[in-house]
Amino acid sequence: MVTPSSTSVPAATGPDAWWRAAVFYQVYPRSFADANGDGVGDLRGVRDRLDYLKALGIDALWLCPVMRSPMADGGYDVSDPRDIDPLFGDLAAMDELLAAAHERGIKVTMDLVPNHTSDQHPWFAAALAAGPDSPQRARYIFRDGRGPGGSEPPNNWPSVFGGPAWTRITEPDGSPGQWYLHIFAPEQPDLNWVDPEVLADFEQTVRFWLDRGVDGFRIDVAHGMAKPDGLPDMANVDTRMLLHDDDDPRFNNPAVHEIHRELRKVLDEYPGAVSIGEVWVDDNIRFGEYVRPDELHLAFNFRLVDTGFDATEIRAAVDNSIEAVSAVGASPTWTLSNHDIEREVTRYGGGAVGTARARAMLLLELALPGTVFLYNGSELGLPNVDDLPDEVLQDPAWERSGHTERGRDGCRVPIPWGGEAPTFEFTTGRPWLPIPPQWSQLTVEAQSERPDSTLSLYRLAIEIRRARTEFTGEAVEWLPAPAGCLILRRPGGLRCVLNASTEPIPLPVGEVLLASAPLADGLLPPDAAAWVV
């Protein structure tokens, strides 16, 4: 039996803290809906599907990057942060989306990318032309190389996408020159946040979008930006993609917190605006520092993403996530997938088992206090597509790793909306990534007709979460449960039962609000969850 205990988070404060219990829906625009038939999703496609999102019951959108970009990394290489890339539309299309979303009571947040720019940004072109020791180069991190003639990188840092984190340039006079830092792809040179121009320009970008009606931002690599003095070598170089280590000198340096304080000052000028940090930090104290009252409002905690379908591990992840923010008065965040992570259906085993477990984990996630982030397509129970042809792969990790890392394209395949065959009404053209024909039973159209579908479960679960008072209260109390199972209770009276064992279990006495799978003789089957009041 699991013994009882409780963990709590701070109560929401003020009407502007709408985000504390919100359900966000992450839109990967390239893959959501294509309105102009070029095979790539766009802003008008998002606008055209807002009624679907309204029916789903979400509170806010998080748009992945739609700013002007050469698309070396799916838009995370920004060449103009205050314009919309023609691939997605234009500023008028963004304004129309904002207005239409707000009419439906849906808030809109968008990605900002402060760690780096595109190598096509005017600043970087000026830095290459200006030469060493120039103010233009001071906006980035240029260094002389080591070894004879400066022919070796300034330190041993690897790029997240494979290969060294440094690229050598040719100087304006044609000679071999300095090296510039790019923690990600060479097309993404890191900014030097010590330079005051960098902060001033970022503040201008933040105000530009807030003035247009954007409700806040997801901050990409929010534990980046600040670099350690002297750029020391890494003690242990590990080039596995998306590996995170609290001792990695490329990230989580103390000076990053002053950057977030300056950003928060701007956001506080706009009541209700929210900042959400992508923070890959394991240590709870250091993680909590990012969501102190004068820094980020929220930070992604990826404990559940890193956890298998195991009761002991899940309970530890929940407790850890709450404890990481409780001391600083922040709200926990919960997510099971995003555009960088293998989809939960596949991660939990694939097929019927993976689908059942993903449905169960949705009920657990929505039962918890705090903010929930859903990734587009999770509500359809989409799996990863791991057999994409080599020739269609576009993630920079594929090329940078010498075709050893297939990258993240498998979780970015476009959404199937309707019809019997690809392209499933995503586009009238050729989709940028192929959609598997076996997804015909996973389309929005097919699932909308079935009350037992994953889409129907999402809609009903979100509706119940919003409507029922049993979901109130900030504490989580763990009640005794059968081996391999969990029962959590919220102060309002909700009990969420998760059966991660191999046998059916009895439910606590009470009314069953919702179950992720049909009960058998009143018993909750394995790989299922239920809400009881």
User: In one letter, which amino acid is 237?
Assistant: V
Task: For residues 211 and 316, give the distance between their C-alpha atoms in angstroms, rounded to a whole number.
Answer: 41
Task: For residues 212 and 508, give the distance between their C-alpha atoms in angstroms, rounded to a whole number.
Answer: 50
Structure-block tokens of residue 266? 């701007």
Catalytic (active site) residue 278: yes
Q: Give 175: exposed, middle or buried? Use CB within 10 Å, 0-12, 13-18, 19+.
A: exposed
> Which residues is 5 bridged to in the sheet?
478
Catalytic entry in 77, 220, 344, 365: 220
How does DSSP classify residue 509?
S
> Using H for helix, E for strand and C for coil, what is the string for 396-458?
HHHHHCCCCCCCCHHHCCCCCCCCCCCCCCCCCCCCCCCCCHHHHHCCHHHHHCCCCCHHHHH
Catalytic (active site) residue 238: no
**Quick check: bond before 423 cis, omega within 30?**
yes
How far lies 350's CA from each of 265, 346, 525, in Å? 45, 4, 18
- Report how far Cα 114 is from the mean position of its chain's Cα atoms: 15
CB 422 within 8 A of CB 441: no
Three-class DSSP category at 499: strand
Task: For residues 265 and 242, give the distance between their C-alpha atoms in angstroms, rounded to a whole number.
Answer: 31
CB 104 within 8 A of CB 95: no
The string of DSSP letters for 207-274 reads: HHHHHTT--EEEETTTT-S---TT-PPPSS----TT---TT-TTS--TTHHHHHHHHHHHHTTSTT-E
- Report how far Cα 344 is from the mean position of its chain's Cα atoms: 14
Helix (H) or strand (E) holding 1: none
CB 95 within 8 A of CB 103: no
How far lies 121's CA from each of 80, 86, 514, in Å? 7, 16, 51
How far lies 141's CA from each of 13, 79, 126, 313, in Å? 41, 17, 14, 41
Catalytic entry in 77, 85, 278, 527: 278
E-only strand ranges, 11-91: 23-27, 60-63, 67-68, 80-84
Task: For residues 416 and 410, give the distance between their C-alpha atoms in angstroms, rounded to a whole number.
Answer: 14
Show which residues are catalytic. 220, 278
